[in-house]
Amino acid sequence: MSTDQSKTVRTYDDLAVGDLYRATRFISEQDVLAFAEITGDDNPIHTDEQYARESQFGHRIVHGVLLLGIVSKVLGRDYPGPGSIAISLNSRFLRPVPVNSEITIEYKVTEKLAKHQHVKGRICVYHDSKRVLVGETILIPPRDSAA
């Protein structure tokens, strides 16, 4: 099992079961407010500190779909690389992420599907070493390593 942080494009042939990619990302208040503006999801649990302080969480939390957007960026841009297409993404939210927090996204290749040259993988998103999102993907890796 390898951990890879490089920006190298990986085609179907370059990928192996067990390959692991990790990336970190800080999610700021500005990120959350911009996401709320773009999507119209201005639920006060994400945008209103006073409201959120009185909630069961005690603070504002990041939109779950914003987390999935960051996962999408990792899969479509970072690993396996530009040109990668997600054709399936199933996920489950396990716990909330506070606004102004760092997350770690981990993607692991779990199976190669030779017939269509697709790749199955597992996604885990962590905050403070705890899983906050888990999921499974099927990807079409980039066809050309020069992408």
Sequence spans of domains, the chain:
3-27+63-140
For 61-82, write each residue's pLDDT tens digit: 999 999 999 999 999 999 999 9
Mean pLDDT along residues 78-103: 96
Q: What is the CATH number of domain 3-27+63-140?
A: 3.10.129.10
Angle, alpha carbons 35-24-49 (nearest 5°): 40
Phi/psi at 114 (5° precision): -60, -35
Mean pLDDT along residues 99-126: 98
Q: Between 89 and 145, whose confidence is greater?
A: 89
State how far the alpha carbon of 129 is from the alpha carbons of 103, 125, 126, in Å: 9, 9, 6
Mean pLDDT along residues 36-54: 97
pTM for the predicted model, two decimal places: 0.90
For 3-16, write each residue's pLDDT tens digit: 444 568 999 999 99
